Chains A and B, each alone.
Chain A
Amino acid sequence: MNTAVRKECTDSTAVLVRRPGPRELHPERTHRRRRALELSLALAVPLVLVLLWQLAAAQAWIDDRVYPAPTTILADGWDRAAAGDLWPDVWATLKRVLAGYAIGTASGYALGLLMGSLSLVRAALEPLLDALYVVPKLALLPIFLNMFGLGEGPQVALVAATVFFFVWISTMSAVMSIPAGYRDAGQVFGASSWQMFRHVLLPASLPAVLVGARIAAGVAVLVIVASEQIAAANGLGHLIFDSRALFQNDVMFVGIVCVAVLGVVFSELVRILGRLLTPWAPRDRGRGQS
């Protein structure tokens, strides 16, 4: 942004003038326009892409049996939702994600906290967990299938294992990077371990933990869809894969859209929850402001 305005003077020496710009002269208007522009851009970009897709399908630039038009997908999704065919799959996926997410977050947070504050526990477990961290969690699905048999067990376990690592690693690094001054102050006042956790470690680490939890929310949906394609009799992942096998491409896209919506809603909920839990933290400016 160029904040300088030049003007020539009568005595031939130039003068550099700093003066108010539009933002200073009309703050309300400039802010309103800026917000309106941001909002319309956020809506317009996806809308244009969908319209382009619609146009391409209508004009037969693409094979609409393979890539059904958005209106077809929407109509099909609407019909299935109205007929009640869609909800069992959505519900099945949601249940697995929530259960796995709860288990993974709780265990990851507990272990991260423990490892962040006690260096002996860290020394004992960090190499092992680091090694497990890099194993693709989907590769563990066969093990979970052997452990829990068919049914909900392996799916939930897989989500939990995935979420666990994200939350564990962000909690541990958050606890370890708490400034020493915070701990020192608590220690000098004679805080017990519980008081230290409650008054210092928990709030100090929470913002970073929540970032990990939000990333984990998206990945949880990603993993459940993949695992349902491999080993489940229902759920959105199963729906997507199954309908492709039956060459019902419109149903496949309905499933994909549902997954996308589920993922956005879930990670948004985690973000809102995080904001409520950490009113002191700087706003996470992921999508727009405020």
Chain B
Amino acid sequence: MGEPHPKLQATDLSRTFGRGPGAVDALGPLDLTVTPGEFVCIVGPSGCGKSTLLRIASGLLRPSTGELAIRTTSPRPAAMIFQDYGIYDWKTVLANVRFGLDIQRLPRREANARARDWLARLGLADFASAYPATLSGGMRQRVAIARALAVEPEILLMDEPFAALDAQLRMILQDELLELTQTTRTTTLFITHSLEEAIVLGDRVLVMSARPGRFIAERRPPFPRPRSGEVRSAPEFTALKSELWQLLRPEAVPA
């Protein structure tokens, strides 16, 4: 890439859980460089430390060794979208989307305007005053996406955001996310189990090994931006998918 300033750079990063003989090496050591505006997808077998990497990037967890540097002027540059939504049942859809802005103490009027704007972009305008419990899974995840993007984060961290959705809904939300991120150009780390998802969305797909997770391969889906969900039917898509599966399969087989 030759970019002089990476947005995010991990060097010799690793994480161990527990102490003494029961300690488990969950991640790395690994190196990672993400350029500004890049959409990086990480695929790997269950328990390989993908989420741990994301939690370190978000500041929820510290690394055991090494460091992860984010080039930013903001103290909280990242927004995270969780697999189980992490949206609050006791707040309306609008209040959920406004949450990050409320935390930043934005004036209510401005926060409402921005939150409504994001609701509209995600097709949730009619549900602003509904409570999340009354929404379907897909809509709940849209709320989570709107909440994350409403703070206009420099880095978007997504931890298997669509894993709990059915296959059709998942494709629809992938397409929506593609559209959104191609306009915002937000640097994104996206974790998934689905190779298809990674190829559709990513500028780059990184394959992780079994625990402790390291990167064992890197591929760039050969589809120019802006792209759409139609790349799914391209022959290169299928070829890349089976190539990635060949790489991932030995890692995913339980030892």
User: Of the 9-residue stretches A21-29, A105-113, A240-248, A275-283, which lies at the interface with chain B?
Assistant: A21-29
Q: How far is the CA of A113 from the CA of B203 in the complex (A)?
A: 57
> Can you name the residue of chain B whose Cβ is closest to the Cβ of A4?
B59
A4: B residues at CB distance < 8 A: 59, 75
Q: Main SS of chain A's interface residues?
A: mixed
Given A13-B71, A15-B69, also A28-B20 (CB < 8 A): yes
Residue from the list B23, B63, B71, B73 in contact with A18, Cβ < 8 A: B63
Q: Tell me the B116-153 residues at the A interface (CB within 8 Å).
A: none
A179: B residues at CB distance < 8 A: none
A19 in the interface, Cβ–Cβ < 8 Å? yes
Query: Counting chain B CB atoms within 10 Å of each CB, which of A4, A16, A23, A24 scores highest?
Result: A16
- B interface with A by C-beta (< 8 Å): 5, 15-16, 19-20, 23, 56-57, 59-75, 77
Q: How far is the CA of A202 from the CA of B67 in the complex (A)?
A: 49
B60: A residues at CB distance < 8 A: 3
B67: A residues at CB distance < 8 A: 17-20
Asked if A3 and B19 sit within 8 Å, CB to CB, the answer is: no
Q: Mark A1-40, 1 if CB is under 8 A from B, else 0.
A: 0011010000101111111110110011001000000000
6 contacts between A and B (CB under 8 A): A16-B69, A16-B74, A18-B63, A18-B67, A24-B16, A24-B64
A23: B residues at CB distance < 8 A: 62
Given A27-B19, A28-B19, A31-B19, also A16-B77 (CB < 8 A): yes
Q: How far is the CA of A4 from the CA of B69 in the complex (A)?
A: 10
> A-B pairs with CB below 8 Å: how many?
63
> Can you name the residue of chain A whose Cβ is closest to the Cβ of B15?
A24
Asked if B59 and A3 sit within 8 Å, CB to CB, the answer is: yes
A17: B residues at CB distance < 8 A: 67-70
A96 to chain B, nearest CB (A): 45
Asked if B68 and A20 sit within 8 Å, CB to CB, the answer is: no
> Can you name the residue of chain A whose Cβ is closest to the Cβ of B154?
A16
Q: How far is the CA of A21 from the CA of B67 in the complex (A)?
A: 11
Given A3-B61, A24-B62, also A18-B75 (CB < 8 A): no
Asked if A18 and B62 sit within 8 Å, CB to CB, the answer is: yes
Q: How far is the CA of A20 from the CA of B13 in the complex (A)?
A: 10
Asked if B65 and A20 sit within 8 Å, CB to CB, the answer is: yes
B77 to chain A, nearest CB (A): 6
> Can you name the residue of chain B whose Cβ is closest to the Cβ of A7?
B69
Q: How far is the CA of A4 from the CA of B58 in the complex (A)?
A: 10
A227 to chain B, nearest CB (A): 43
A16: B residues at CB distance < 8 A: 69-72, 74-75, 77
A27: B residues at CB distance < 8 A: 16, 19, 23
Asked if B62 and A14 sit within 8 Å, CB to CB, the answer is: no
Asked if A24 and B73 sit within 8 Å, CB to CB, the answer is: no
Known A-B contacts: A18-B59, A20-B62. Give 7 more (CB < 8 A): A4-B75, A14-B71, A15-B72, A17-B67, A19-B63, A20-B65, A20-B67
> Can you name the residue of chain B whose Cβ is closest to the Cβ of A9?
B71
> Can you name the residue of chain B whose Cβ is closest to the Cβ of A19?
B67
Q: How far is the CA of A20 from the CA of B15 in the complex (A)?
A: 9
Asked if A24 and B19 sit within 8 Å, CB to CB, the answer is: no
Given A18-B67, A19-B67, A28-B20, also A13-B62 (CB < 8 A): no
A31: B residues at CB distance < 8 A: 19
> Can you name the residue of chain A whose Cβ is closest to the Cβ of B155?
A16
